Amino acid sequence: MEKLKVLIADDELGMRKGTAKVLDKYLVALPGMEEPVGFDISEASNGLIAKEMLETDHFDLILLDYKMPELSGLEVLDCIRDSQIDILTIMITAYASLEVAVSATKNGAFDFLAKPFSPEELKSVVEKASRHLVAHRQAKRLSEEKRKVRFQFISVLAHELKSPLAAVDSYLQLLKKHVAGEELSKYDHIVERSLVRLDGMRRMILDLLDLTRIESGQKKRELTQIEISAIALKAIETYKVIAHERNIDISLHSETPVHFYADAGEMEIIFNNLISNAVKYNRDKGRVDIYISTDDKHLYLSVSDTGIGMTPEEKEKLFGEFVRIKNEDTHKILGSGLGLSIMKKIVSFYNGKIDVESQRNVGTVFKVVLTRLTEDENK
């Protein structure tokens, strides 16, 4: 069981023992904690001792008597503030004087308790302080986790941007030193590779901008009634040439028109990503089939291909940022690994979900379900 460390600083022995007795057996159930929290009690018989204990040991909570010999409660409070000790203070005053309470809270006390107090009053103040403490810690933990994720993201990003730069750099070195002699056509292939890597880099930066705009909420969402199959057709048009080069057939199966309340840009991103992947990870002479349907609650999209597919282990990793699956079939295909992360984020705006069914060397089906939102819900 987790215990909060409490220091009772009071020159009256009776007060210390009475308070300790109440808190010793007291358990508080707190939100977000599986088990109730108990208290581990220490005592200080004057302000000076309290100060020394605070300096050598860590406490979560201090019940601090206002009037003590050697060092008063307010002076101890000053020490806590000056040394930036991470502790919550409950000031105990002999008379419920407003003045003392105000100056104590001004100096960083969390709450105060007026003597004499009942066990119930004590418990209630301590419970409130514990809640605050635990919530504060959870928030701190969460922000640290966020920082870590962010840091990870940035280091992967740096790596992903460095690798095309390094490639283009070394190709240019070959050119600069005329390694293959003076005949320009000898360099065609490395120039082509440089352009391909630069294009990949450009796309990655665009994807990254999309992702950050969407995640930060900077991108203005314009929700209107739109016709979904028109957007699908537009996306198909974009990838038709690449598909045609590899004899890949793209068909749209849709009851037209399909109306849905959404942001047109977001729907384009979904279709572009799904269709682009279905073509990229397909085989020559393969197929891509796009299905669109609706009912009064949902919009259903599915994009299936006859491509390289994925193993169950590969499928698990799919939606991570910058995740690209490495195998014999994929290593020549370029991508940022951000497309599906962006899609996942967008789908979450529509309380939706994405399912993937895939079989290695057979093909993949991405199924997206979006929930119809009323105009009110979207605000």
Partner 1 sequence: MKADINTAQKKQILIADDDPDILEQMRFRLEAWGFDVCAVESQKKAEEKIKAGKPALAIYDLMMENQDSGFVLSYLTKKMYPDVPVILITSVTSETGFHFDSSTEETREWIKADAVLDKDIRYEQLESEINRLLKG
Ligand X SMILES: Nc1ncnc2c1ncn2[C@@H]1O[C@H](COP(=O)(O)OP(=O)(O)O)[C@@H](O)[C@H]1O
Residue among 336, 350, 354, 368 that touches ligand X (CB under 6 A): 336
Q: How far is the CB of 165 from partner 1 (least distance, A)?
A: 11
Concatenated DSSP letters of 174-215: HHHTTTT-S-GGGGHHHHHHHHHHHHHHHHHHHHHHHHHHHH
Q: Which of 32, 34, 79, 27 has its CA nearest to residue 53?
A: 79
d(CA 325, CA 131): 45
Contacted entry of partner 1, ligand X, none for residue 278, CB cut-off 5 to 8 Å set by kind: ligand X
Q: State which of residues 77, 292, 340, 346 lies at the interface with ligand X (CB under 6 A).
A: 340
Cis-peptide, bond into residue 257, ω within 30° of zero: yes
Whether 88 and 61 have beta carbons less than 8 Å apart is answered as: yes
Q: How far apart are CA 221 and CA 138, in angstroms?
A: 32
- By CB under 8 A, tell whether 332 contacts partner 1: yes
273 binds ligand X (CB under 6 A): yes
- H helix intervals, the chain: 13-24, 47-56, 73-82, 98-106, 119-176, 188-216, 228-245, 264-280, 312-317, 339-349
Does 327 engage in binding with partner 1 (CB under 8 A)? yes
Between 125 and 308, CB nearer to ligand X: 308
**Which residues have a Cβ under 8 Å from the Cβ of 283 and sit 6 or more positions away?**
306, 307, 308
* Of residues 174 and 252, the one with the C-beta less far from partner 1: 174
Among positions 278, 290, 301, 346, the unique one binding ligand X when judged by CB under 6 A: 278
Residue nearest to ligand X as judged by C-beta position: 335
Smaller CB separation from partner 1, 152 or 173: 173
Q: How far is the CB of 229 from partner 1 (least distance, A)?
A: 38
281: partner contacted, choices partner 1, ligand X, none (Cβ within 5-8 A by kind): ligand X
Q: Using CB distances below 5 to 8 A depending on partner kind, what does residue 171 bind out of partner 1, ligand X, none?
A: partner 1
Count of residues interacting with ligand X (CB under 6 A): 21
Using CB atoms within 10 A of its CB, is residue 47 exposed (0-12), middle (13-18) or buried (19+)?
Answer: buried
Binding partner of residue 330 among ligand X, partner 1, none, CB under 5 to 8 Å per kind? ligand X
Nearest distance from C-beta of residue 308 to partner 1, angstroms: 14
Residues 47-86 that bind ligand X (CB under 6 A): none
224 binds, among partner 1, ligand X, none (CB under 5 to 8 A by kind): none
Q: Which residue in 15, 31, 13 sits closest to 23, CA to CA?
A: 15
CB proximity list for 296: less than 8 A, separation 6 or greater: 372
Q: Exposure pattern of 324-362 as b/e (b: 16+ CB <10 Å)?
A: bbeeeebeeebbbbbbbbbbbbbbebbebebeeebeeee
The footprint of partner 1 on residues 148-177 (CB under 8 A) is: 167, 170-171, 174
The least CB distance from residue 256 to ligand X, in Å, is: 25
Map tokens 């933990």 to a residue: 141
**Cβ closer to ligand X: 232 or 340?**
340
Q: Which of 318, 346, 347, 354 binds ligand X (CB under 6 A)?
A: 318
8-state DSSP, 362 = T
The only residue of 150, 193, 202, 244 in contact with partner 1, by rule CB under 8 A:
193
- 214 touches partner 1 (CB under 8 A): no
- The CA–CA distances, whole Å, from 155 to 132, 150, 211, 341 equal 35, 9, 16, 17
Q: Whole-angstrom Cα distance, residue 335 to residue 308?
A: 16
Q: Is 301 in the site for ligand X (CB under 6 A)?
A: no
Residue 184 within binding range of partner 1, rule CB under 8 A: no
Instruction: Give the nearer residue to partner 1 in terms of CB position, either 140 or 193.
Output: 193
Task: Check binding of 308 to ligand X (CB under 6 A).
Answer: yes
- What, of ligand X, partner 1, none, does residue 339 touch, CB below 5 to 8 Å by kind? ligand X
Give Cα separations from 345 to 71, 125, 339 (angstroms). Answer: 56, 42, 10
Residue ranges that bind partner 1, judged by CB under 8 A = 167, 170-171, 174, 179-181, 189-190, 193, 197, 327-328, 331-332
Residue ranges that bind ligand X, judged by CB under 6 A = 273, 277-278, 281, 305, 307-310, 318, 323-325, 330, 335-340, 364
